[in-house]
Amino acid sequence: MTPRDLLLRPVALADLAALERIAAASEHGISSLPNDQAKLRARIERSIEAFSSQDDASGEETYLFVLEDLARAEVVGCSGIAASAGFHDRFYSYRNEFVVHASAALGVSNRLHTLHLCHDLSGYTLLTSFYIDPAYAHGPAPQLLSRARLLFILQFAERFNERIAAENPGLADGDGQSPFWDAVGRRFFDMDYPQAEAVTGGRNKAYIADLMPHSPIYVPLLPEAAQWAIGQLHPVGELPFSILQDEGFDADTYIDIFDGGPTVEANLGLLRSVRHARRLAVQGEAINAGPSVWHLAVSAGRADFRAVLCELPRAAHAVAPEDELALRLGQGLGGHILTTPLWPESAESVVRGRP
C-alpha cells in the first residue's frame, strides 16, 4: 500500500459486509456502529440520504465515511459525523469542576474534584465511528480518516455547528466492564456497561442520564479504580485521540457519563487542518512552486465527496484538469480542491518517513 492508494468516500450499500466486519471487530463500548445487520443497513441509508439530500439541513443528519485501499479494493476503516449531538434530546456529559471547602476556625482548606452532570455539548457537531484496520494504523491512513471530516465540515459549514466534539473510549476490560460505570451508573441501573451502550446506541444517552442524580459527584468518595479511570483512555482510543489533540481539541473539561473517557471539544476555525487549509483552482495551467510535501486533499462535492493524500508544493495555487490529483478527485476545469498539509509543522516530514 502507498498513500496514493487510499481513498476516503461516503459509505454505500455495497459496504455493508465491510461494516459488519468492522462492528464485529470493535471492542465493547468503543464503536458507535451497531453489531447488527439491519441496524447497519439503516445507518448506511441515513448516511446516503444525508450526503445526497438537497433539503436544508435539520441537524438530524449523520454522515458515514469509509476508507478504501484501492490497490486491494478493500474497506480498511470508517469514520463519521453527527451533525448535532443530542438532536432528539439533550446530550449529556460530566463536567470536571473543583470546589473549595474551607474552615477558618480549623485553618483547613480543601480543593475537591467534582463531576457535574450537564448538557453543555448539546447541539455540537460530533465526530463518531472512528475505526482503522490495525495493519494501517502506523502511517498516514488514520490522518486521512480522521482529519478529512474537518475539511468536509468546513466546506459545508451551514450544515454543522462551529463547535465540534468527540467522545473517546474510557477504560474497560476485555469483557467490557468499566470501573467508572460500575461505581456510578450501575448504582442506578441494573445492567452492565456493554448493555447500557447497546441500549443507547452510542449517541442518545439522555433517558439514562435523566434518571441519574443531578447533584455533584465528589470524586474522592468514589472507589480508587473509578477515580483512576476518570479521563483515561482505552488503549484502542489512543490513536484517534492523539490526532484530535494534535488538531487542537481540548480534553480537560468533559468526560463520558458511562465510562469516564475524555470528551474533547474545540472551535472549528481554530483547528490545525482548518487554519492551514487553502483552495486550489482547477484551471488550464497549474501554478506550483517550491518543494513538494504531503497534503490531504478533498473534492468540492457533497454526494460525491472524495479525500486523498497527495504531494503538492506548499505554494501551489492551482492544478491543471489533467493533473493526477484533479483526476483522482473527479474535479474538472472550473472546479476547486481544498487542501491542508499533512504535517504542517515541518516541510521535512516526508524525509523523516512519516507517510
Q: Contacts for 96-102 with beta carbons within 8 Å, 24 or more apart?
A: 96/230, 96/231, 96/252, 96/253, 96/254, 96/255, 97/216, 99/216
* Helices 16-25 and 37-52, axial angle in degrees (round to 10): 120
Q: Cell numbers at residue 346, please?
A: 515541518
**Rounded to whole angstroms, how far apart are CA atoms 19 and 190?**
30
DSSP for 152-185, written as a single string: HHHHTGGGS-SEEEEE------TT---HHHHHTG
CB atoms within 10 A of CB 103: 9
* CA-closest candidate to residue 23, choices 41, 5, 10: 41
What's the length of the chain?
355
Q: Cell numbers at residue 188, please?
A: 442506578
**Rounded to whole angstroms, how far apart are CA atoms 219 and 41?**
41
Q: Which residues, 6+ apart, have CB-to-CB distance to 42 below 8 Å?
A: none
**Rounded to whole angstroms, how far apart are CA atoms 295 and 342?**
5
**Rounded to whole angstroms, how far apart are CA atoms 10 and 254?**
30
Asked if 209 and 259 count as a contact pair (C-beta separation under 8 A), the reply is no
Judged by DSSP in three states, 83 sits in coil
* Catalytic annotation present for 276: no
Q: Which residues, 6+ apart, have CB-to-CB distance to 85 below 8 Å?
A: 91, 121, 122, 123, 124, 125, 126, 165, 203
Q: Cell numbers at residue 160, please?
A: 454543522
Exactly one of 101, 113, 116, 234 is catalytic; which is it? Answer: 234
Which run of H or E residues covers position 149? helix 141-155
Which positions are annotated as active-site residues?
A: 234
